[in-house]
Amino acid sequence: MVNHEKLAKLRGHILSLGYQSILLMRSSNFAWLTDGAQSVVGIASDIGSSFILVTQKTALVLTTNIEKKRLIEEEGFLENEIVSISWERGVLSLAQEYINPGLACDYSFFNSPDINSSLSLLRINLTSSDQNQYIDLGMLAAKSMDSVPALIKPGMSEIEISSILAGECIKNGIFPIVNLIAVDERVFAYGHPLPTNKKLKNYVVLILCARKKGLVVSMTRFIHFGKVPLELKFNMHKIIEVDAEIARALVPGITLGNLYLRIKDTYAAVGLAGNEKFHHQGGIAGYVSREFLVTSTSEVQIEHGQALAFNPSAKGAKSEETLLFTTQGLKILTQTAHWPLWEYKNIVRADILEILH
């Protein structure tokens, strides 16, 4: 069930670091190596209920008797690829039996070194299968978001709106792992607005990170009930300018550090100098919402075959899509049908949706 191309890269990687084997406990790495098999039961957990032990000769799933049947019948593993233990003893107890001086891990596990940060460098270079699954996920996330405007109205609470967005996602077979909603003045106050009982009057932001087969897309949309104030439109269009300039700066080999400098300069050029300090600007996406963030010191390079999710923002405005960087250019994976678009230098991004009735 493991992807043999990824398995070969992983084995070479751990050898280059001086290790002979690795225990993958994180659901992100389990999903990456298996092209989307689900090891996690509680979706809020980073650690799965099943692990993969990779040596230079074998790749074994370590699990309990509770999970074994589903892994075989629904995830496609073979009986001889699985080592199981009773639920009473637990998978951690089983994993301890494989600890040795040459074992690395993707989590802090006894004395085995945690090399998870280096695994992101493997995960960000997407295979053709990863890319196809990403395209499917992006379409489902956009479909889920597109359903929301017809289902919400002034007077609803942020929690109600959040439940509607979550329901649409689950209906479409994706999991909303981040589902942030703010209305009216809270839109301007918080970068990560956890939903509350505050009721919608005019303005709402919907922030979504959705997962399927381990991959994660991110997107943000704004809805205004009533005429959008000119100042709000102006701010949104300035942020779209920043997002467009990010897209224009993307060339294979550019580092996230150099991109940060471009973003900083662009904020200044549009009259929002220093805005990069108030919220992260996104970065390279993949099997977590951001594998690497754009920072001033990052030497990680952007290359074709990566998923990108940038999110320049100002108070009350943000532009966020998930993109696939291909040799033919940038493909927007989360393009919605019901939001208007604003164009800047031949690059379009979602504008504020105005609902007048």
CATH assignment at residue 284? 3.90.230.10
Residue 160: the pLDDT is: 98
pLDDT, position 42 = 87
Q: Specify whether 181 is located in the same domain as 314.
A: yes
> How far apart are the C-alpha atoms of 323 and 334, rounded to whole Å?
8
Domain count, the chain: 2
Q: Does one domain contain both 280 and 155?
A: yes
Domain span including residue 301:
128-355
Total count of residues recorded for the chain: 357
Q: What are the C-alpha distances in Å from 325 to residues 35, 127, 168, 284, 291? A: 20, 13, 27, 10, 15
Boundary-marking domain end, from 123, 146, 170: 123
Pair 187, 269 in one domain? yes
Q: How far apart are the first and last CA of the chain?
A: 52
Q: Which of 279, 286, 290 is nearest to 256 (CA)?
A: 290
For residues 169 and 216, the answer to whether their CB atoms sit within 8 Å is no
| Same-domain status, 171 and 209 | yes
Q: Which residue has the tokens 């799933």?
A: 61
What does the pLDDT read at residue 113?
94
User: So what's the pLDDT on residue 48?
Assistant: 95
148 phi and psi angles, rounded to 5 deg:
-70, -45
Last residue of a domain, one of 123, 154, 173: 123
Does 80 lie in the same domain as 149?
A: no
Digits of tens for pLDDT over the chain (357 positions)?
899 999 999 999 999 999 999 999 999 999 999 999 999 998 878 999 999 999 999 999 999 999 999 999 999 999 999 999 999 999 999 999 999 999 999 998 888 999 999 999 999 999 999 999 999 999 999 999 999 999 999 999 999 999 999 999 999 999 999 999 999 999 999 999 999 999 999 999 999 999 999 999 999 999 999 999 999 999 999 999 999 999 999 999 999 999 999 999 999 999 999 999 999 999 999 999 999 999 999 999 999 999 999 999 998 999 999 999 999 999 999 999 999 999 999 999 999 999 997
Do 149 and 279 fall within a single domain?
yes
The DSSP bridge partners found for residue 183 are 204
d(CA 46, CA 28): 7
157 and 63 in one domain?
no
Q: What single string gives the DSSP state of each residue in 74-94?
A: TS---GGGEEEE-TTT-HHHH
**CB under 8 Å to 61, separation ≥6 — which residues?**
50, 51, 52, 53, 71, 77, 81, 82, 83
CA 135 to CA 129: how far, in whole Å? 10
Q: Which residues of 213-280 form beta strands (DSSP E)?
A: 215-225
Residues 237 and 307 in one domain: yes
Do 279 and 333 sit in the same domain of this protein?
yes
* Residue 35 shares a structural domain with residue 94: yes
Report the distance separating Cα 284 and Cα 333, nearest Å. 14
Q: Are residues 105 and 165 in the same domain?
A: no
Can you give the pTM of this predicted structure? 0.96
Tell me what pLDDT residue 109 has.
Answer: 87
pLDDT at residue 82 in the model:
97
What is the rounded distance in angstroms from the CA atom of residue 82 to the CA atom of residue 71?
9
In whole angstroms, what is the distance from residue 61 CA to residue 83 CA? 6
Contact 346, 353 (CB under 8 A): no
Two structure tokens written together for 216: 């994660």
**pLDDT score for 149:** 98
Using CA atoms, how far apart are residues 153 and 181, in angstroms rounded to an integer?
A: 14
Residue that is last in its domain, among 74, 92, 123:
123
Same domain, 244 and 258: yes
We report the CATH number of the domain holding residue 103 as 3.40.350.10
Q: How far apart are CA 312 and CA 58, in angstroms?
A: 44
